[in-house]
């Protein structure tokens, strides 16, 4: 291993987990946390075929999220989804893994529930068979999504062979204007660098606007790293991080916690450490942002109009815009503000934490939604807290459905889908064709913006509805 | 894993950017065990409408019925980590995808399943997509050792990570290699337990 005089946080984390490096440059990384969900069954099938055990069940944790019904009644009509949840429970039991089942008070979306339990810590290497695992980078963890074969590899060895990524720093300087949120930073970044702009890179988010974000905001931002093509995005841990972690059920306690914090303080990029790419954004220039197309890079401020492909020189790009507008049933030059919607969804690993619930509720309080919609808190714990704060009453009074925690309408695997042809204002992470259901049309935006869309039945600038 | 050395087979052009994993395989099919085969799920909603009627999509055309290669535009396989996207391609009979760039997780999953992600320049992709129209259904040769794609008189180089190349050529599986490192892994754990005692969680 090369000793660096100065290093980025990305290199520090990498070096701390490197077991050995081959001549060809591949490094065997130790994995501190492995998170499982129902989709992990492919890897368990591989394990069974080999007849082996799990190397480190004490570092492996599961939770049911992708197939969990969000309404008690909906599980009855969906035996396949119920079987997926039982399958995870069987595998967890057979392999001695602690897994939070459908009715466990700790259940929730893996990227919401695990941080909440204190299972995500700074300095950890963390993997999960889900691309939004980058979420956990919010804590200064080296966290990335992996495929089923890699899940099987980690189950069997608690390690992974990886190539050192290139390093990208995205600095967001200045102060975020009111009415904007972490989601707007992320969508602005993706629109700026493209859906593959961070391909092959690990991202460090830095700058004053990032430091000012809560843990919830940092999780939203890191969550969307993969939508910019980055497998991993992180924020160096600081007092905000330590305060969030103190007292969490699985977090270290007492002296061990204090000792850990000492270690964690060293997880910062050295002053003159070099990145392969530096991107700088001005927070003050960020506006409430929505997507209009079928990739998260097709995003623009709510005050903008839809681009006209006939004015774009790059023929492939113009063709992609035409295809997206055709699918989305939108016109070139059409203002984003005012586009009619059919439905809203507030939830997903991107935006379903307590702060997101509060942001949406603050707009919906005392108002009525004129379109139907679902509000799915990210975990049973977020649900309990929101209900203690009375937020569920605000959502219900507004005419929205307040349901249980799960991946729900972000990916539709539990049966919560957007009907074909309908347009949904959604706090989720992917506006891909058919993502929320066959023929569904998705506009991604912040929770406040979705609440504003619910009230007006159109894509709307939340700043016109905000109360100070 | 099935090794990949050289392949001569029909190629199907998909002149589309950002073909994401939700297009490759819609989420509703991911609950099926691999043993049942994933071939019917490939590009399901691009190939068929809700009634099962065929859409106007290149892979539905008779000329490409026997395609084992796909040529696409940039950011192929972006999106989710679902290995089902690779299972669907492989089970359908696709052995190589040629594109200017790939989603990182998709490419990694592809290698694990013997599917070649061959990276070419944007210009080369356009040349190939145009050539595909001219020689619809005629075979393309993808040679991993020399890292070349040959269609008619056109010979184009492609890039691939040298580690992945070796893995594909040999059909190597990581796990056996890793299990050979168990002493190093154990030594790491012993040292790490002292250095970072806070890593192993204890619920209170």
pLDDT in tens, A281-327: 999 999 999 999 999 999 999 999 999 999 999 999 999 999 999 99
Kindly tell me if the per-residue pLDDT of A3 is higher than 60.
no
d(Cα B124, Cα B103) in Å, to the nearest integer?
19
Residue B161: domain span: 6-172
Is B203 touching A (CB cutoff 8 A)?
Answer: yes
Tokens 């520090």 correspond to A12
Q: Are the Cβ atoms of A149 and B109 closer than 8 angstroms?
A: yes
Give the distance from residue A451's alpha carbon to the nearest chain B alpha carbon, in angstroms. Answer: 26
Kindly tell me if the per-residue pLDDT of B188 is higher than 90.
yes
**Long-range residue pairs from B172-176, CB within 8 A, at least 24 positions apart, any chain:** B172/B1, B173/B1, B174/A153, B174/A161, B174/B112, B175/A50, B175/A152, B175/A153, B175/A156, B175/A157
Phi, psi torsion values for A46, nearest 5 degrees = -65, -40
Whole-number pLDDT of residue A77: 66
pLDDT, one tens digit per residue, over A129-145 is 999 999 999 999 999 99
Q: Kindly state whether residue B108 falls inside one of the protein's structural domains.
A: yes
Query: Looking at residue B62, which CATH number applies to its domain?
Result: 3.20.19.10
| B179 contact residues in A (CB cutoff 8 A) | 156-157
Number of domains in chain B: 1
Over range B66-95, report the average pLDDT.
Answer: 97
Kindly tell me if the per-residue pLDDT of A228 is higher than 60.
yes
Q: Are the Cβ atoms of A256 and B198 closer than 8 angstroms?
A: yes
Minimal Cβ distance to B199: which of A32, A420, A438: A32
Q: Which CATH superfamily is domain A9-277 in?
A: Aconitase, domain 3 (3.30.499.10)
Q: Kindly state whether residue B144 falls inside one of the protein's structural domains.
A: yes
| B15 contact residues in A (CB cutoff 8 A) | 319
Q: Residues of B numbered 118-147 whose beta carbons fall under 8 angstroms of chain A's beta carbons: which are they?
A: none
Q: Kindly state whether residue B97 falls inside one of the protein's structural domains.
A: yes
Over range A248-253, report the average pLDDT.
Answer: 96
Q: Are the Cβ atoms of A199 and B178 closer than 8 angstroms?
A: no
Residue A241: pLDDT band by 50, 70, 90 thresholds?
very high
Over range B70-97, report the average pLDDT.
Answer: 97
Kindly tell me if the per-residue pLDDT of B100 is higher than 80.
yes
Q: Are the Cβ atoms of B31 and A118 closer than 8 angstroms?
A: no
Q: Kindly state whether residue B204 falls inside one of the protein's structural domains.
A: no
Whole-number pLDDT of residue B172: 86
Q: Kindly state whether residue B200 falls inside one of the protein's structural domains.
A: no
| B175 contact residues in A (CB cutoff 8 A) | 50, 152-153, 156-157
Q: Are the Cβ atoms of A19 and B188 closer than 8 angstroms?
A: yes
pLDDT, one tens digit per residue, over A394-449 is 999 999 999 999 999 999 999 999 999 999 999 999 999 999 999 999 999 999 99
Kindly tell me if the per-residue pLDDT of A280 is higher than 60.
yes
Nearest chain A residue to B189 by CA: give it.
A30
Whole-number pLDDT of residue A1: 45
Whole-number pLDDT of residue B1: 83
Asked if residues B11 and B131 have their Cβ atoms less than 8 Å apart, the reply is no
Residue B203: pLDDT band by 50, 70, 90 thresholds?
low
Give the distance from residue A56's alpha carbon to the nearest chain B alpha carbon, in angstroms. Answer: 10
Whole-number pLDDT of residue A322: 97
Kindly tell me if the per-residue pLDDT of A74 is higher than 50.
yes
Q: Kindly state whether residue B88 falls inside one of the protein's structural domains.
A: yes
Whole-number pLDDT of residue A5: 76
Q: Are the Cβ atoms of A67 and B31 closer than 8 angstroms?
A: yes
Whole-number pLDDT of residue B135: 65
Residue A73: pLDDT band by 50, 70, 90 thresholds?
low
Class of the A334-464 domain?
alpha beta
d(Cα A29, Cα A18) in Å, to the nearest integer?
5
Which DSSP category does B102 fall into?
B
Q: Kindly state whether residue B25 falls inside one of the protein's structural domains.
A: yes
A215-223 and A354-364 helices cross at what angle (nearest 10)? 100
CA dist A53 → A45, A152, A154, B41, B148 (Å): 12, 10, 11, 31, 42
Kindly tell me if the per-residue pLDDT of A18 is higher than 90.
yes
Over range A265-290, report the average pLDDT.
Answer: 97
Q: What is the ipTM of this complex?
A: 0.95
Q: Kindly state whether residue B194 falls inside one of the protein's structural domains.
A: no
């Amino acid at each position: 291993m090369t000793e660096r005089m100065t290093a980025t946080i990305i290199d520090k984390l990498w070096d701390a987990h490197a077991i050995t490096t081959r001549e060809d440059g591949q490094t065997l990384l130790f994995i501190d946390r492995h998170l499982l969900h129902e989709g992990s069954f492919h890897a368990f099938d591989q394990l069974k075929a080999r007849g082996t055990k799990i190397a480190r069940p004490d570092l492996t944790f599961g939770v049911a999220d992708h197939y969990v019904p969000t309404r008690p009644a909906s599980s009855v009509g969906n035996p396949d989804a119920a079987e997926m949840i039982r399958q995870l429970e069987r595998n967890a039991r057979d392999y001695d893994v602690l897994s939070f089942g459908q009715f466990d008070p700790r259940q929730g979306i893996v990227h919401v529930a695990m941080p909440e339990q204190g299972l995500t810590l700074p300095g950890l290497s963390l993997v999960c068979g889900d691309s939004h695992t980058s979420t956990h980078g919010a804590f200064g963890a080296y966290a990335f999504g992996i495929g089923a074969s890699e899940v099987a590899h980690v189950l069997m060895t608690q390690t992974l062979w990886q190539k050192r990524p290139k390093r990208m720093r995205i600095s967001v300087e200045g102060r975020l204007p009111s009415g904007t949120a972490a989601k707007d930073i992320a969508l602005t970044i993706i629109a700026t660098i493209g859906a593959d702009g961070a391909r092959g890179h690990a991202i460090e988010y830095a700058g004053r606007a990032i430091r000012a974000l809560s843990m919830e905001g940092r999780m939203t931002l890191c969550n969307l790293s993969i939508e910019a093509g980055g497998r991993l995005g992180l924020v160096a841990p600081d007092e905000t991080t330590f305060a969030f972690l103190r007292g969490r059920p699985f977090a270290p306690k007492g002296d061990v916690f204090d000792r850990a914090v000492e270690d964690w303080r060293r997880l910062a990029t050295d002053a003159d450490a070099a990145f392969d790419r530096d991107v700088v954004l001005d927070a003050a220039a960020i506006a409430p942002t929505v997507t209009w197309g079928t990739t998260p890079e097709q995003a623009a401020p709510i005050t903008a109009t839809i681009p006209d492909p006939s004015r774009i020189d790059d023929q492939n790009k113009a063709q992609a815009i035409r295809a997206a507008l055709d699918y989305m049933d939108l016109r070139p030059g059409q203002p984003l503000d005012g586009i009619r919607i059919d439905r809203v969804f507030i939830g997903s690993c991107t935006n379903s934490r307590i702060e997101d619930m509060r942001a949406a509720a603050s707009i919906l309080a005392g108002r009525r939604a004129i379109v139907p919609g679902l509000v799915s808190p990210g975990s049973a714990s977020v649900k309990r807290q929101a209900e203690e704060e009375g937020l569920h009453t605000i959502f219900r009074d507004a005419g929205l459905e307040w349901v249980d925690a799960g991946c729900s309408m972000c990916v539709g695997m539990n049966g919560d889908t957007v009907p074909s042809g309908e347009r949904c204002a959604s706090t989720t992470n992917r506006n891909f064709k058919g993502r929320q259901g066959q023929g569904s049309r998705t506009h991604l935006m912040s929770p406040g913006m979705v609440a504003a869309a619910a009230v007006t039945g159109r894509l709307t600038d939340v700043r016109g509805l905000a109360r100070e | 894993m099935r090794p990949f050395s050289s392949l001569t087979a029909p190629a199907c052009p998909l002149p589309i950017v950002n073909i994401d994993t939700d297009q490759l395989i819609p989420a509703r099919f991911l609950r099926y065990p691999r043993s049942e085969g994933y071939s019917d799920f490939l590009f399901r909603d691009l190939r068929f409408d809700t009634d099962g009627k065929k859409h106007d999509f290149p892979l539905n055309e008779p000329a490409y019925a026997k395609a084992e290669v796909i040529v696409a535009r940039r950011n192929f396989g972006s999106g989710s980590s679902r290995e089902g996207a690779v299972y669907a391609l492989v089970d359908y009979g696709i052995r190589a995808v040629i594109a200017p760039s790939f989603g990182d997780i998709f490419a990694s999953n592809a290698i694990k399943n013997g599917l070649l992600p061959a990276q070419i320049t944007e210009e080369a992709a356009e040349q190939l997509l145009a050539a595909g129209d001219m020689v619809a259904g005629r075979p393309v040769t993808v040679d991993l050792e020399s890292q070349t794609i040959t269609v008619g008189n056109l010979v184009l180089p492609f890039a691939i990570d040298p580690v992945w190349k070796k893995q594909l050529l040999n059909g190597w599986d990581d796990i056996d290699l890793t299990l050979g490192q168990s002493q190093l892994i154990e030594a790491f754990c012993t040292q790490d337990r002292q250095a970072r005692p806070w890593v192993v969680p204890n619920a209170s």
